A = this chain, B = another copy of it.
Amino acid sequence: MPENLAYAELIAVLVAVTDNEPRVMTIGAGEALPSGPFETSHRSLQSGLRAWIESQTGHPVGYLEQLYTFADRDRATEAASAAPHTRHISIGYLGLVREQAALGAGRPEWHSWYEYFPWEDHRERRPELLNHITERLLVWAGEDVTRRQRVEFLFGLNGLLWNEDLVLQRYEMIYEAQLEKEPGFGRQMAGDHRRILATGITRLRAKIKYYPVVFELMPDSFTLLDLQRMTEALAGLRLHKSNFRRQVDQQNLIEETGEMSSETGGRPAKLFRYRPAILEASALSGARLPYSRH
């Protein structure tokens, strides 16, 4: 069954956050995501990839999750695939590492993910360039009402709220409108790597809401504001301080270390640490069905 044979590779969206900036590991001067061969010597994709990443970054991967398997013919990476009728499969992974390191065999470079998606950072303000982007998209939409509504929904126009989770959908619309290579539409990447990165950001932004993955990016001890800044960096949004704190301690996932921080001006803050112990029992909020508990 030779038609079942395919070239398979792993692609990693590796994220670290330093100086409140979420960064992604790249190769080729920021032009591509790191990808590796599909090792046959490991028990699973996961463990093979983990070993490979650790050799590249010099740091352990705290969290690793499969993203999506890409194989669309028209959006495949141009590389490899000498034989014309052989398919090319990329299995994407999302990984979180605690520190950004210039160590490791591959001399990895890290770039802020907002270089590739500058319209996704709303921490300071709604980015100026969104005006230009939505203008171009509305021209593209033309008279098509469904398309116009979708632009309004995705980009929070006409009083609709900006939804930080829709990274991939926004990029796909820009791609569909063939604007992704225009100036003002962010830095490009090889092949479909920018789309894979968008998939990773989307997944991470959704995940931090119902699963305590943020802690994989935090140092051993941290203040509540540190934790808030981390979440804000990922979400690309400012959060409400006291409500953030309330939510955090309702979840019961952290405990005081007893130490205080001697930080930037102001009253010293208590230091906390993550306690993964009960982790699962908390199982957190999330959407619910109208249960009937008798």
Residues of A within 8 A of B (CB): 1, 3-9, 37-40, 42-45, 66, 68-69, 71-74, 80, 85, 87, 89, 91, 149-150, 153, 160-161, 163, 208-210, 231, 235, 237-241, 243-244, 246-247, 278, 280-281, 283-293
Contacts and interface: CB of A to CB of B under 8 A. Distances in A.
Contacts of A280: 150, 153
What number of copies of this chain does the assembly contain? 2
A231 to B, nearest CB: 7
Given A6-B6, A208-B289, A239-B290, 16 more contacts: A3-B39, A4-B80, A5-B7, A38-B87, A45-B69, A45-B72, A66-B68, A69-B91, A231-B289, A237-B289, A240-B292, A247-B289, A247-B290, A284-B287, A285-B287, A286-B286
Nearest to A80: B1
Nearest to A36: B4
Contact of A40 (B69, B85, B293): B85
A241 B235 CA distance: 36
A293 B44 contact: no
Residue among A150, A210, A246 having the largest count of chain B Cβ atoms under 10 Å: A210
Contacts of A74: 43
